[in-house]
């Protein structure tokens, strides 16, 4: 039995463990959940130690003599002074550096690439010489949508009269957007189920020694036994 087959059995088993929660909470599901949490945290810690601490600090510092790395190292370590109230103020230096550097780098780009670019593209189709009737129509719809939704979320003025009518239009745009997002979310969730089902079907083939089928039968039997034992125990407790 090679590692692919063993991997198939583990994957099939854990997938069935997680799907078992659709029936009700049970030990299989709880085991799978805890295993997933433990494994992913352990994996991330090891990857970070190897990539950041060994690959990004230890090797360049000791092997390539990049001694300037001492500055970010001290700044990084100073964050841990948060755990010691008397010297916690030291961490503020690093936080100031992170906030200052991050804001300076991010804010102009988001304003230019996010906000201005969106506004520019909303307006452009109406003024373009080569714009088709469809472009103009789409542009008008987008402008109506943007304006009405902005007015809907503008709470400094009471929503009465014209403002109320425009904000009502805004609600319809918001609902259509939510509907589209929800439709795509359903599609995404179905895709995930398809992905797991596809693998379960594959693991049910002779190549994997019918892993899915054997594990499913075993799981059902154990769950039935577990339920009947639990009910008996509950019954005896009630009688007592």
Partner 1 sequence: MNALLKKMANLDRRIIYVLISLAIVIPLLYPLFIEVNVNPEAKAVYDTIDNLPSGSTVFLAMDFDPASKPELYPMAEAVLRHCFSRDLKVIGMTFWVTGVGLGEKAFTDIAKEYNKQYGTDYLYLGWKAGGYALVIQMGEEGISAAFPADHYGRETSTMPILQKVSHLKHLDYLVELAAGGSIGTWYYYGKMKYKFKMGGGCTGVMVAGWYNLMKIDWINGFMGGLRGAAEYEKLINKKAKATRGMDAQSVSHMLIIAMIIFGNITYFVNRAKGNK
CA angle, residues 90, 92, 97, in degrees to nearest 5: 120
Residue 209 backbone zone (phi > 0: left; psi -120 to 50: alpha; other: beta) = left
Q: Is 187 one of the binding residues for partner 1 (CB under 8 A)? A: yes
Distance separating alpha carbons of residues 60 and 77, to the nearest angstrom: 18
Q: Which of 222, 167, 229 is nearest to 27 (CA)?
A: 222
Only one of the segments 27-35, 164-172, 184-192, 232-240 lies at the binding site for partner 1 (rule: CB under 8 A); that segment is 184-192
Q: Is 105 one of the binding residues for partner 1 (CB under 8 A)? A: yes
Q: Which of 215, 184, 150 is nearest to 10 (CA)?
A: 215
Query: Phi and psi of 177, rounded to 5°?
Result: -65, -45
Q: Is 186 one of the binding residues for partner 1 (CB under 8 A)? A: yes
Q: Is 126 within 8 Å of 137 (Cβ atoms)?
A: no
Q: Which of 13, 5, 25, 9 is nearest to 216 (CA)?
A: 13
Identify the residue among 30, 34, 47, 168 touching partner 1 (CB under 8 A): 47
Secondary structure (3-state) at 13: helix
Quote the least distance from Cβ 25 to partner 1, whole Å: 13
Per 3-state DSSP, the chain is made up of helix, strand and coil in percentages (nearest 5) of 90, 0, 10
Nearer to partner 1, 126 or 163 (CB): 126
Q: Is 52 one of the binding residues for partner 1 (CB under 8 A)? A: yes
Q: Is 137 one of the binding residues for partner 1 (CB under 8 A)? A: no
Q: Is 220 one of the binding residues for partner 1 (CB under 8 A)? A: no
Nearer to partner 1, 163 or 223 (CB): 223
- Contacts to partner 1 from residues 69-98, by CB under 8 A: none
Q: Is 80 within 8 Å of 95 (Cβ atoms)?
A: no
Only one of the segments 36-44, 90-98, 143-151, 154-162 lies at the binding site for partner 1 (rule: CB under 8 A); that segment is 36-44
Q: Is 240 one of the binding residues for partner 1 (CB under 8 A)? A: no
Identify the residue among 3, 130, 191, 236 touching partner 1 (CB under 8 A): 191
Q: Is 194 one of the binding residues for partner 1 (CB under 8 A)? A: yes
Q: Is 201 one of the binding residues for partner 1 (CB under 8 A)? A: yes
Helix (H) or strand (E) run with residue 188 in it: helix 161-203
Q: Is 180 one of the binding residues for partner 1 (CB under 8 A)? A: yes
Q: Is 181 one of the binding residues for partner 1 (CB under 8 A)? A: yes
Q: Is 228 one of the binding residues for partner 1 (CB under 8 A)? A: no
- Using CB under 8 A, list all residues that contact partner 1: 22-23, 40, 43-44, 47-48, 51-52, 55-56, 105-106, 109-110, 112-114, 117-118, 120-121, 177, 180-181, 184-198, 201
């Amino acid at each position: 039995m090679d590692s692919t087959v063993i991997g198939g059995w583990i994957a099939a088993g854990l997938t069935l463990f997680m799907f078992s929660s659709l029936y009700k909470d049970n030990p299989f599901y709880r085991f799978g959940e805890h295993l997933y949490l433990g494994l992913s945290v352990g994996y991330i810690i090891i990857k970070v130690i190897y990539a950041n601490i060994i690959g990004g600090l230890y090797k360049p510092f000791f092997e390539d003599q990049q001694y300037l790395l001492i500055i970010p190292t001290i700044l990084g370590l100073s964050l841990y002074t948060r755990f010691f109230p008397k010297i916690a103020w030291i961490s503020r230096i690093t936080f100031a550096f992170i906030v200052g550097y991050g804001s300076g780098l991010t804010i102009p780009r988001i304003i230019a690439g996010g906000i201005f670019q969106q506004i520019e593209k909303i307006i452009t189709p109406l003024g373009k010489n080569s714009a088709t009737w469809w472009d103009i129509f789409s542009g008008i719809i987008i402008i109506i949508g943007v304006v009405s939704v902005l007015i809907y979320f503008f709470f400094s003025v009471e929503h009465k009269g014209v403002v109320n009518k425009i904000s009502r239009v805004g609600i319809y745009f918001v609902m259509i957007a939510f509907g589209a997002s929800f439709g795509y979310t359903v599609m995404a969730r179905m895709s995930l189920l398809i992905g797991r089902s596809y693998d379960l079907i594959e693991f049910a083939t002779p190549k994997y020694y019918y892993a899915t089928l054997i594990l499913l039968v075993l799981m059902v039997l154990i769950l039935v036994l577990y339920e009947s034992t639990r009910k008996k125990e509950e019954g005896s407790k009630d009688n007592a």
